[in-house]
Structure 1
Amino acid sequence: MSLRGTSSSPAAWDRRLPHDDADELSWLLFHQEDVLSLAQARRHLSAKAIRHRLATGRWRQVHRAVLVAHNGPVSAGQLRWVAVLAAGPQAILGGLTAAQAGGVRGFPGRPIHILLPASCRREALPAGVLAHRTTTLTDRDVLAVGQPRRTMPARSIVDAAQWAGDDQQARAIVAAGFQQRIVAGDDLHLVVERLPRVRRRQLILATAADAAGGSHSLPELEFLSLIRRSGLPVPTRQKIRCDSAGRRRYLDAYFEQWRVHIEIDGGQHVDPRAWWADMRRQNDLWIEGDRLLRFPAWAIRAKPDEVVTQLRAALKAAGWPG
């Protein structure tokens, strides 16, 4: 059966904390977001009682062995429960799904990725669920708290990058992990070191090194790669600077020796308020004597020669010998 759900917003039905005297089934449904396996239901209810709930529409069977104890829309969190319960007791959330459960934003919620030990038997899965096997899954890789069980943030980002559809998506996932403060420092390097056959090893390590150094978005990473290919000096990324009002600002890229500042404009700059905030910051920089170049994110990919030509000219005008 295909899984269909809404966003991760609160469900339409009431899921208040059960009373202290609530029975075990009520607590189970509370902890598992109103999702339970058929085996769990049979431990608390007779077969007749289960059939009655399904026949009257109070419950729904969303998979051969998984039930939802309501008749409303299925949320993103509930879909994750359906996936792990359908896959069996050793299944945990992995990759991008685990990262999203831990707070990563900006990526589609489907398919749902689960991780299984290589030796375990896999149950039949609902449509929209992908199972991955691993021979390396230690206690360091599994989050000790939180349900359903999932991989630790760093392992989740590494797996999401190696399972990504292409290199660009893999780099975007790694960058998002640092930008959204899900991982930091050498977290990803430690995971890659203990995974002997991880795909995109060098891409993950290089992207993590750049992201930890301050390039927190995919356009910033692409800009840094362009700089290196062109033989230009490497700028400082995400440098902190105070504006005229004393507020802390982060510069996307700053060639400090020559006081050339690069701003990479993403989709947020279609917002007039954000645009004006950026113009104020630009004016502050010009007042102090810096040179400021602004490039839309798409130009770094589609017009790299023009970006390099303008940047080279600005650096030479500021005194860079070339």
Structure 2
Amino acid sequence: MSLRRAWSPAAWGRRLPSDDADELTWLLFHQEDVLSLEQARRHLSPKAIRHRVATGTWRQIHRAVFVAHNGPVSAGQLRWAAVLAAGPQAILGGLTAAQAGGLRGFPGRPIHILLPASCRRGSLPAGVLAHRTVTLRDQDVLAVGQPKRTMPARSIVDAAQWASDDQQARTIIAAACQQGIVAGDDLSRIVERLPRVRRRQLMLATAADAAGGAHSLAELDFLGLIRRAGLPEPARQKIRYDSTGRRRYLDAYFEEWRVHVEIDGGQHIDPRAWWADMRRQNDLWIEGDRVLRFPAWVIRAHPDEVLRQILEALRAAGWKG
């Protein structure tokens, strides 16, 4: 299939080349204006390549990679540069692949690429990390979209095992579940079939909690706190309806004792979001629930105080534990 027929005009919001455009123009459109030296040589003489660089039409951003302009290099172009420099078997992996698929809230560097364990790779640009794998099935690789990258669940599992520490691994999993990139069950299936995955038990436990409704790191910290203290386990993300009939989700709900715990994150900086949560809280109080609210940082910094208030609320509601 020719490049002209393979890619839609919607790609990256860029203008589709004209029907009479040459193959090099289509290649640059397909690869966000990035190409390797090997690709350039298929279409141009060495003299023509040097001329484009010398006149500023192209810019050499790595030993064997060019970008077809002289302005700032975008995040997408850096990803292309990474896989083109590494070689034809390289794909985006881990946090980089997840970000290409929509994950937000993490730095874009370093760029992570994934390679089969046995293949050779080229020299890499600064800020690119290569990882090897012996287990990469066809269903682990996204069938559409370029450059190639791992599927969301595999991306998050790899990102968690490549994370600098356990806390960062849990943060990545929580963010991916909260943002709807993956579901906890998807992660568990990937972990179970990767024989050498790091942080196996941490990922399985975090994924199970995410599948049960704990969708943020603060909620996961809260759940761990409750379990260590031997308190009853609350329902997570329980659906309730407010006085206007709108569906609401409770962060944690001790249903038998009607004790509701709300964990406030960064969204409460927005006054409108804060008022919406206050209104929901008022509706619950009117109905007779006990509502406790904790900022996310308090759960980590003052766990004993959090436990004391939850324990007092449960006992006031009739818990005999």
Q: SS state of the match for residue 172, structure 1?
A: helix
CA contact (8 A) 2:86 2:122 kept: yes
Instruction: Give the distance between the partners of 1:244 and 1:309, measured in 2 at CA.
Output: 31
CA contact (8 A) 2:58 2:69 kept: yes
Deviation, 1:157, is 0.6
1:107 aligns with 2:106: yes
Question: Residues 153-192 of structure 1: CA distance to partner in whole angstroms, max 9, x if unpaired?
Answer: 1110100000001101101111122111111252112211
1:78 aligns with 2:77: yes
Instruction: Give the distance between the partners of 1:120 and 1:309, measured in 2 at CA.
Output: 56
2:97 corresponds in structure 1 to 98
Equivalent residues in 2 for 1:1-322, closer than 5 Å: 15-322=14-321
Q: SS state of the match for residue 149, structure 2?
A: coil
Instruction: Give the distance between the partners of 2:204 and 2:273, measured in 1 at CA.
Output: 33
**Greater alpha carbon shift after TM alignment, 46-55 vs 222-231:** 46-55
CA contact (8 A) 2:184 2:209 kept: no
Q: SS state of the match for residue 308, structure 2?
A: helix
**Greater alpha carbon shift after TM alignment, 86-95 vs 175-184:** 175-184
Q: Which has the higher contact order (CA 8 A, sep 6+)?
A: 1
Deviation, 1:282, is 1.0
Q: SS state of the match for residue 110, structure 1?
A: coil
* TM-score computed with the length of structure 1 as normaliser: 0.94
Deviation, 1:316, is 0.7
Instruction: Give the distance between the partners of 1:192 and 1:120, measured in 2 at CA.
Output: 24
Q: SS state of the match for residue 89, structure 1?
A: coil
Instruction: Give the distance between the partners of 1:179 and 1:89, measured in 2 at CA.
Output: 34
Unaligned runs of 5+ in 2: 1-11
Instruction: Give the distance between the partners of 1:188 and 1:273, measured in 2 at CA.
Output: 34
Q: SS state of the match for residue 125, structure 1?
A: coil
Question: Residues 55-110 of structure 1: CA distance to partner in whole angstroms, max 9, x if unpaired?
Answer: 11111000000000011111111110000001010100000000111111111111
Deviation, 1:15, is 3.5
Percent of aligned positions that are identical: 84
Q: Which amino acid aligns with 1:22?
A: A
Question: Residues 200-259 of structure 1: CA distance to partner in whole angstroms, max 9, x if unpaired?
Answer: 000000000000110000000000000000010000000111111111111100111111
**Greater alpha carbon shift after TM alignment, 169-178 vs 307-316:** 169-178
Q: SS state of the match for residue 243, structure 2?
A: coil
Instruction: Give the distance between the partners of 1:307 and 1:189, measured in 2 at CA.
Output: 30
* TM-score computed with the length of structure 2 as normaliser: 0.95
Deviation, 1:14, is 9.2
1:10 corresponds in structure 2 to none
Instruction: Give the distance between the partners of 1:116 and 1:58, measured in 2 at CA.
Output: 32
**Greater alpha carbon shift after TM alignment, 120-129 vs 186-195:** 186-195
Instruction: Give the distance between the partners of 2:262 and 2:20, measured in 1 at CA.
Output: 59
Q: Which amino acid aligns with 1:62?
A: I
Instruction: Give the distance between the partners of 1:236 and 1:285, measured in 2 at CA.
Output: 16
Count of matched residue pairs: 310
Instruction: Give the distance between the partners of 2:14 and 2:313, measured in 1 at CA.
Output: 59
Deviation, 1:273, is 1.5
- Taking a change above 3 Å as real, the CA distance of residues 300 and 185 of structure 1, as seen in their structure-2 partners, is closer
CA contact (8 A) 2:94 2:154 kept: yes
